[in-house]
Amino acid sequence: MKGFILFFLCLSVLAVAAGVVANAFREKPLGFLYKTKAERLAEAVERIQASETRATDEATEMLDFATMKKIAERGEAVILDARGDLFYQLGHIHGALSLPRDEFEKGYAAIKEILEADKNRLVVVYCADSRCEDAELVNDALKRLGYSRTAIYGGGWQEWEKEVKNAVPQ
């Protein structure tokens, strides 16, 4: 029995060592400690920014449903859905682009040309509902990337879907 425990212990140590070595050779090594949503998003923004920081301390405008509806109908802004891609595919505000907080770097790369065409154009971010923090996190990330006119639609998809019957299911 003692030999089995020793064998198992040695095998476990060897497996951990192999994992650490393999991780060191990955393009993006996995962290050893859990990082919060905000920390992971901040790292993604830093990778996109390279070395130029354009942070802004301006307060973010919070939009109500009536204002958001006017903006969406008139096409006055780039509208971004910060929810996960699956939720976006199930339904989103008409004309909204997907920029999920979980996949910010990949999503940003996909819509970068549209966003960078005019960094002074209004960008409105929303997520699931008023309790969802993803819109705020994505909004803050965009501000750090130099987007000067951003707003958050606080009611999110839940309010929009309830108020507007022409939601676009994909």
Say yes or no: 99 and 153 in one domain. Answer: yes
Question: What Rg, from alpha-carbon coordinates, does the chain have?
Answer: 21
pLDDT tens-digit profile of 50-84?
544 444 456 789 999 999 999 999 999 999 999 99
Residue 165 has a pLDDT of 66
Q: Is residue 44 part of a domain?
A: yes
Structural domain boundaries, residue 8:
1-32
Query: How does DSSP classify residue 25?
Result: T
Give the chain's domain count: 2
Residues 109-136 have a mean pLDDT of 93
Rounded Cα distance between 63 and 150, Å, is: 10
Q: Is the pTM of this model over 0.85?
A: no
